Amino acid sequence: MMIYMDNAATTRMRREVVEAMLPYMTAEYGNPSAGYELAARAKKAIEQAREEIADTLGCEAEEIFFTSGGTESDNWAIKSTMMAKNRGHMITSKIEHHAVFHSCRFLEQKGYQVSYIDVDADGLISLEQLENAIRPDTRMISVMAANNEIGTVEPIAEIGKIARKHHVLFHTDAVQAYSNIDLNIERDEFDMLSVSAHKINGPKGVGFLYVRKGTKLPPFMCGGAQEHGVRAGTENVSGIMGMAKAAKLAFQNRKMRLSHEYEIRNYMISRIQREIPYAKLNGHPTKRLANNMNFSFGNVDGGTLIAMLDHQNICAASGSACTSASKEASHVLKAIGLSDEMAHAAVRLTINENITFQEADYVINCLKYDVMRLQSELG
């Protein structure tokens, strides 16, 4: 039986989520922009979903805008904010998801200036360097709430305070963090926040962008007047309904889910560090997502190790799913100081609340056998 340990890449949709979506794929198929009763019911369902999602963040429904996922939300927040003026400066970190990282590179090609802030060996951003990087023309700061590869949770409340102090917009990619850490719109002082449904047992191809009321964010996609005129395109009604149900369930059982994940994660980290030679935990030892483990194993190729685990019916990853085909060393692992060799030796295991201790033991035992086999072959 397959043991799935790649939940940072995507999660399995819950049965309740599928059931919430089905009516809007069949009988309730109306286009929300049309003018008859079938369409009105679809429109009403979308607005109800918007309210349910807003409740999870403690914000107003009108501050939630539906998108195709975290990548679109990141692109919209960054590009539209910066390109509203002909020039300007923004700040980000060296370990952002590629949706942010490549958006920043795009802006640089257009003549905008971007500062990339260092992180320490655990992946925590330098708050001092961040504040010192702010200039009179700095328009926004974009720093992820929690890293998708190494699981490190950033000091977002402190970043928010710095941004507000200097009157700079603060955007966070919360794709990995949403429902997995405590996000507080007022305390953390977010102006924009990106989320993707498929990370919380929802459907792929749908997400949202929180935009604080009063924040001027020009449209990213042009066309019709959907989403209050700022995000064109016929709404993905079934996807939105699935995301709202997934969000509701994720927050309902959050305390129990995270408690179980912490217990399994800490157990696995302890055994791996104790029993597997040259195992290095990447990311902060405690300030990390409950479900995340990222290890580099000396004298091991991560890609080969992933393939061996696959033959043992274990799904794991060697880095971000968005860059799994790349032969370059992870920019995240390089930013925390790993050599190319150790970066290529990395394996990410991300669990969910359904993982048992028996399954964890099986994965550890397979990992131990495979790593020691590879190390002996290279030794």
- Positions marked catalytic: 322
Provide the b/e sequence for 274-286 (b: ≥16 CB within 10 Å): eebeebebbbbee
Residue 305 and residue 123 in contact, taking contact as beta carbons nearer than 8 Å: no
Outline where DSSP puts E strands in 26-124: 64-67, 89-93, 113-117
The two tokens of residue 109 are 């090609």
Which residues share a beta bridge with 114? Answer: 90
**Distance between CA 156 and CA 162 in Å, rounded?**
10
CA distance 212 to 190: 7
14 C-beta neighbours (distance < 10 Å), count = 17
Give the separation between CA 164 and CA 158, rounded to whole angstroms: 10
Q: Is the dihedral of CA 299, 303, 307, 310 positive or negative?
A: positive
Q: How far apart are CA 16 and CA 245, in angstroms?
A: 7
List the one residue out of 208, 88, 99, 198 whose CA is nearest residue 144: 99
**DSSP assignment, residue 223?**
S
Strands of 113-117's sheet in order across? 64-67, 207-211, 192-196, 169-173, 138-142, 89-93, 113-117
Q: Could you tell me if 280 and 375 are in contact, meaning their C-beta atoms sit under 8 angstroms apart?
A: no
**Cα(215)–Cα(64) distance, rounded to whole angstroms?**
12
Strand partners of residue 29: none
SS3 188: helix
**What DSSP line would sit under 84-106, residue for residue?**
TSSS-EEEEETT--HHHHHHHHH
Give Cβ neighbours of residue 327 (< 8 Å, ≥ 6 apart): none
